[in-house]
Amino acid sequence: MALQEEINKRKTFGIISHPDAGKTTLTEKLLLFGGAIQVAGAVKSNKIKRHATSDFMEIEKQRGISVATSVMAFEYRDKKINILDTPGHKDFAEDTYRTLTAVDSAIVVIDVAKSVEEQTEKLVAVCRTRQTPMIVFINKLDREGLDGFDLLDDVEQKLGMRACPLSWPIGMGKRFQGVYNLYANNIRLFSAHGKQTDDDVIEISDLSDESLNDLLGEAAADELRSDIEMVREVYPPFSKEEYEKGLLNPIFFGSAVNNFGVKEMLDCFVDIAPHPLSRETDERMVEPTEEKFSGFVFKIHANMDPKHRDRIAFMRICSGTFERNTNYFHVRQKKKMKFSNPTMFMASKKNIVDDAYPGDIVGLYDAGNFKIGDSMTEGEVLHFKGIPSFSPEQFRFVNNADPLKSKQLNKGIDQLMDEGVAQLFTKISNNRKIIGTVGALQFEVIQYRLEHEYGAKCQYESLPMHKACWIKTDNKEALAELRSRRKNNLALDKDGKLVYLAESAWTLKMAQDNHPEIEFLTSSEF
């Protein structure tokens, strides 16, 4: 029964958005409500030296963007809430895609002025394929932006969501007066002081009440009545069952930087967001209530603390109870391991934990034993699904810029590739190393981290390449023919899997036509 109680306490979710929609700022405010931090950090301001808690890497602080997923936990209303703040920039999308395998729900942040943007569409599409329950937070209401109904149209048409507004803005920009909470039937008046108290809440059970005119002014009160009437006619009533199935998406409005509208969303989230869900493996479904422990690694971060050169593997607990100093089975390596100092995180701050339960994210100090996607169990062989490596879209040769530091360079590249931020290919014909990434900014991050964390310098050489495709076949003759005819296009990835490097879409099509017995796959999950 104790396990069930612990499961019922937990909510694990990811925050996703296009860059600059206010995702990291929203994370800060959620941590404030949970008492996890006392003062919210500034994500961008150069005048303020305090940075966002979730942006702890030096390059993040300099650029004012998130380049790696941060894992944080806090308690609110007797619930243990785990937040995974993901990078919004498309160049770091692969980290975000994998992180979404470790969450049970998501909050999507949208800028009121820019509405739905390209990266938001891609990330929401990933959530929808997994039927992940999503809440939408429309941010920056203190600025001028699109009309509320236009925003809802975009959410439904571009994101394929079924919108269900649970709060509604009263004005916008300079006219912004607050939000009407349809979930709790009250009004919260806006003030830009960054605090929310119960004094700001005014119970309004009947919008036809004349006191609303005195509160907001006649024009604003009439506009609110008209809007709410239309909302109730056009949009479906809230259904927790449909939300949990990913078929209905609650919408909230607010201003994260002013800490406004956040509490309404958080209170609703705590009420409706799912507890830890079951996870699919190649072998069977794993239920969180199972007595025996299981979990999988979805992220690795080298040099979490550069002073100590520590490498952390982030593991999502899927079932049972994880206990410190207990032997567990590493499925891929087929060996037992135990962990004397498993940790939980408040961004870069770590606390050693004695036990953890389904939904929790645990950091394991790793000397190189883990790869992304690895499973840990009490002995059963399980392979958790849906943790892919995608084909990179940009490629460069990597050269050593300081021959005296070749050992440091090789170690740095080796460890950074283990994080899954980029992929390393070694050409069979000449052993040259190629780094492939989803976006160009990753090359800059790798170069920066190699120099500042490993004392090594690298230079890149452009490499016009269309796609890297993993090779799959049971036909030895066909594989031998490919190796003979296409040797210059073949490379090995970090795990020794054979990869075909196509210079263009045309050369890939030719290779597929000339070698019909071979599958050319754009994901290594096979």
In this structure, what are the phi and psi dihedrals at residue 79, rounded to the nearest 5 degrees? Answer: -110, 145
In this structure, what are the phi and psi dihedrals at residue 133, rounded to the nearest 5 degrees? Answer: -60, 135
Here the tokens at position 360 are 């929790």
Q: Is 113:140 a contact under the CB 8 Å cutoff?
A: yes
d(CA 67, CA 148): 31
Q: Walk me through the domains of the chain, giving residue ranges and CATH numbers.
A: 9-81+97-272 (3.40.50.300), 279-377 (3.40.50.300), 394-521 (3.30.70.3280)
Q: Is 306:21 a contact under the CB 8 Å cutoff?
A: no
Q: Which residues pair with 384 in a beta bridge?
A: 281
In this structure, what are the phi and psi dihedrals at residue 424, rounded to the nearest 5 degrees? Answer: -110, 130
pTM of the model: 0.77
pLDDT tens for the chain, 526 residues long, are 588 999 999 999 988 887 777 877 888 888 887 665 544 443 333 333 334 444 444 544 444 444 345 678 888 889 999 888 776 445 455 667 777 888 999 999 999 998 888 878 888 887 887 889 999 999 999 889 989 999 999 999 999 999 999 999 998 888 888 888 888 888 888 776 555 555 556 777 677 778 788 888 888 889 999 999 999 999 999 999 999 999 999 999 999 888 888 888 999 999 999 999 999 999 999 999 999 999 999 888 776 555 555 778 889 999 999 999 999 999 999 999 999 999 887 644 668 889 999 999 998 988 778 888 899 999 999 998 876 666 677 899 999 988 888 898 888 888 888 777 788 999 998 889 999 887 777 788 888 888 888 889 989 998 888 888 899 888 989 999 999 888 889 999 888 889 999 999 999 999 999 999 999 987 765 4
Q: Which residues of 202-217 are buried (b: 16+ CB within 10 A; e: fewer)?
A: eebeebeeeebeebbe
In this structure, what are the phi and psi dihedrals at residue 80, rounded to the nearest 5 degrees? Answer: -95, 115
Note the maximum CA span of the chain.
84
Positive or negative CA dihedral for 181, 187, 188, 191? positive
Q: Which residues contact 66 (CB under 8 A, 6 or more apart)?
A: 23, 24, 54, 55, 60, 85, 86, 87, 88, 89, 92
What letter would DSSP give residue 299?
A: E
Here the tokens at position 444 are 């800059």
Here the tokens at position 210 are 């004349």
In this structure, what are the phi and psi dihedrals at residue 32, rounded to the nearest 5 degrees? Answer: -60, -45
Here the tokens at position 322 are 């994880």
